[in-house]
Structure 1
């Protein structure tokens, strides 16, 4: 991980808010023979007392599921807005251009579960992503028994107890105020994903340039 102190998140709540906003996580690991594997999965993040857990489900009999069962040590990467930042936008452009991005890395051990615990997870997961709409035909409780009986045996629930959490929120913190504001303006002009990056930078203006 790019380890620069000025690019670290300031508090735990900021990190929790980020990973809940960007729950489509990339989970990587290696099997017992050292072969790397990876998958991208939507997850739920839970705080249990002082511990943080990443919870979700995945297909059985995949290379990554088998590898995680052989070697439970995994790295989960949450990725947020990112985009190119041209040095030409800075007051003194005699420097290299760069890429701004936001990322949280969570290390831990994965364990698996099925049965009623998996059913409970799917109920929570589907209701959450249907915005609490209990009348939605696609929440778990409204699916037919024939459907759930057919497909549930193909998936397994998992949870990762997070042992180490680290961040890179690289958002041009090293720039002077005018250059920083120029970058925001240019990103907003480009729109799309760059506008989300601009929004994140805008949140930090008063903190970075309070004097």
Structure 2
């Protein structure tokens, strides 16, 4: 990921939090058949390995897990994003030398990937994913709410993914390279947008 110094995120704690805030990631592998990618919910276990380990699961019919991986896998976590019109820049009125851009946050994680179908490991993955995404509900659903025989049948239809993180890159492109007056114009414009993602990006733009 191309990351100019002004946009780089180097703090590991912040990178982990950016990963946790992303509900769906893109799991990408290079194979002899060409690049393959699958959108997946993933979770980070930062207690494992030097930089943490990512877990997820694929549908068993998905050909991605059957194709030999060339090199390391890549997981792309995209955070909130927003189009930025140059009309919000104070400098537009001064000299007009402005163009549109896009603000966004992203984390790229890469590492060796392992596919597995052990029932106990798969149950742990789906249970942990469920707890993460059900935890905000007033009455969370649990894997144990479903009949054991049904869950075992479902587990036979998936393949687990384990990817120890070998490298981690983070980026927050939030108008940091613009003069303060331009940043404030972007912040105000996004805050007044009727798009929820725009409003979220507005809160991230530094003062």
Fold-level similarity (TM above 0.5): yes
Separation of aligned partners in 1, 2:191 and 2:20:
24
Structure scoring higher RCO (CA < 8 A, sep ≥ 6) equals 2
Other-structure match for 1:127: 131
Other-structure match for 1:37: 36
CA offsets 1:135-174 (integer angstroms, 9 cap, x no match): 64x4211210231132110112211111111122111001
Other-structure match for 2:167: 164
Q: What is the aligned-residue RMSD (CA, Å)?
A: 2.0
Separation of aligned partners in 2, 1:54 and 1:86:
36
Structure 1 residues 24, 127: closer, same or farther in 2, change over 3 A?
A: same
Q: Could you tell which deviates more after superposition, 120-129 or 102-111?
A: 120-129
* Structure 1: runs of 5+ lacking an equivalent: 206-211
Separation of aligned partners in 2, 1:10 and 1:59:
34
Other-structure match for 1:117: 121
Other-structure match for 1:208: none
* 1:58 has 2:61 as partner: no
Separation of aligned partners in 2, 1:79 and 1:160:
18
Other-structure match for 1:145: 148
Separation of aligned partners in 1, 2:55 and 2:71:
14
Separation of aligned partners in 1, 2:136 and 2:187:
35
Matched residue pairs, number? 200
CA offsets 1:159-207 (integer angstroms, 9 cap, x no match): 1111111122111001111211110000011132100111111xx32xx
Measured after TM superposition, the shift of residue 61 of structure 1 is 2.7
Separation of aligned partners in 2, 1:183 and 1:133:
34
Structure 1 residues 71, 153: closer, same or farther in 2, change over 3 A?
A: farther
* 1:89 has 2:93 as partner: no
Other-structure match for 1:209: none
Normalising by structure 1, we get a TM-score of 0.87
Structure 1 residues 57, 7: closer, same or farther in 2, change over 3 A?
A: same
* Structure 2: runs of 5+ lacking an equivalent: none
